[in-house]
Amino acid sequence: NVDSPLPTDFLFGTASSSYQYEGAYLSDGKGLSNWDVFSHTPGKIIDATNGDVAVDHYHRYLEDIELMDEVKLNSYRFSISWARILPKGRFGEVNLAGINFYNRLIDALLLKGIEPFVTITHFDIPQELEDMYGGWLSPQSQEDFAFYAEVCFKWFGDRVKYWSTFNEPNLQVSFGYRTGLTPPGRCSKPFGNCIEGDSEFEPFIAAHNIILSHAAVVDIYRTKYQREQKGKIGIVIQTAWFEPISNSTADKRASERALSFTFKWFLDPIVFGKYPSEMQDILGSILPKFSKIEMMKLQKGLDFIGINYYSSFYVQDCIFSTCPSGEGVTKTEGLYLINMEKNGVPIGKPTPIGWSIYPQGMEKVITYIKDRYNNIPMFITENGYGEMDNPNATLEEHTNDVERVQFLEDHLNALFVAIRKGADVRGYFAWSLLDNFEWMFGHTRRFGIYYVDNSTLKRTKKLSASWYKNFITEHKTEALR
Ligand code: GCO
In 373-452, which residue ranges form alpha helices assigned H by DSSP? 395-399, 402-420
pLDDT at 328: 47
pLDDT at 335: 83
The 8 Å CB, 24+ separation contacts for 275-279 are none
Query: How many other C-beta atoms are found inside a 10 Å radius of the C-beta of residue 229?
Result: 18
Which of 165, 187, 190 minimizes the C-alpha distance to 175? 187
Question: Bigger pLDDT: 360 or 299?
Answer: 360
pLDDT at 370: 98
Nearest CA, atom 5, ligand 1: 431
Provide the pLDDT confidence category of residue 327 given band limits of 50, 70 and 90. Answer: very low
For 315, half-sphere exposure in the C-beta direction (CA atoms, 13 angstrom radius) is 25
Q: What separation in Å is there between the alpha carbon of 291 and the centre of ligand 1?
A: 33
269 is a domain residue: yes
Question: Distance from CA of residue 258 to its chain's centroid?
Answer: 18
Residues 444-454, mean pLDDT to the nearest whole number: 98
473 is a domain residue: yes
Quick check: CB of 317 below 6 Å from ligand 1?
no
pLDDT at 299: 87
CATH number at residue 57: 3.20.20.80
Quick check: CB of 174 below 6 Å from ligand 1?
no
376 is a domain residue: yes
Catalytic-role residue among 168, 243, 387, 438: 168
330 is a domain residue: no
Quick check: CB of 19 below 6 Å from ligand 1?
no
Q: How many domains does the chain have?
A: 1
pLDDT at 305 over 50: yes
Annotated catalytic, 382?
yes
pLDDT at 324: 66
Give the mutation target among 14, 17, 175, 380 for probing the ligand 1 site: most ligand atoms within 8 A of CB.
Answer: 17
Provide the pLDDT confidence category of residue 186 given band limits of 50, 70 and 90. Answer: very high
328 is a domain residue: no
468 is a domain residue: yes
Q: ipTM > 0.95?
A: no
pLDDT at 1 over 80: no
Provide the pLDDT confidence category of residue 230 given band limits of 50, 70 and 90. Answer: very high
Quick check: CB of 36 below 6 Å from ligand 1?
no
pLDDT at 464 over 90: yes
Over the stretch 367-384, which tens digit does the pLDDT of each residue have?
A: 999 999 999 999 999 999
Share of the chain above pLDDT 70, in %: 95
Q: What separation in Å is there between the alpha carbon of 296 and the centre of ligand 1?
A: 31
Q: What separation in Å is there between the alpha carbon of 307 and the centre of ligand 1?
A: 12
Residues 154-175, mean pLDDT to the nearest whole number: 98
pLDDT at 25 over 80: yes
Q: What separation in Å is there between the alpha carbon of 167 and the centre of ligand 1?
A: 9
Q: Omega into 190 within 30° of 0, i.e. cis?
A: yes
Quick check: CB of 17 below 6 Å from ligand 1?
yes
Provide the pLDDT confidence category of residue 330 given band limits of 50, 70 and 90. Answer: low
Does residue 223 sit in helix, strand or coil?
helix
Residues 414-425, mean pLDDT to the nearest whole number: 97
Over the stretch 233-272, which tens digit does the pLDDT of each residue have?
A: 999 999 999 999 999 999 999 999 999 999 999 999 999 9
Does residue 448 sit in helix, strand or coil?
coil
Give the mutation target among 168, 237, 381, 407 for probing the ligand 1 site: most ligand atoms within 8 A of CB.
Answer: 168
Query: How many other C-beta atoms are found inside a 10 Å radius of the C-beta of residue 220?
Result: 17
pLDDT at 318: 82
How do beta strands 450-452 and 425-430 pair?
Answer: unpaired
305 is a domain residue: yes
Domain span including residue 420:
11-242+260-310+351-480
Buried b (16+ CB within 10 A) or exposed e, 431-440: bbbbbbbbbe
Given the CA of residue 171, which atom of ligand 1 is nearest to it? 7
Q: What separation in Å is there between the alpha carbon of 320 and the centre of ligand 1?
A: 30
Quick check: CB of 172 below 6 Å from ligand 1?
no
Quick check: CB of 447 below 6 Å from ligand 1?
yes
463 is a domain residue: yes
Over the stretch 80-118, which tens digit does the pLDDT of each residue have?
A: 999 999 999 997 789 999 999 999 999 999 999 999 999
Q: What separation in Å is there between the alpha carbon of 450 and the centre of ligand 1?
A: 17
Nearest CA, atom 2, ligand 1: 168
Name 466's Cβ contacts closer than 8 Å, sequence gap at least 6.
none
E-state strands within 268-354: 304-317, 336-339, 341-342, 345-346
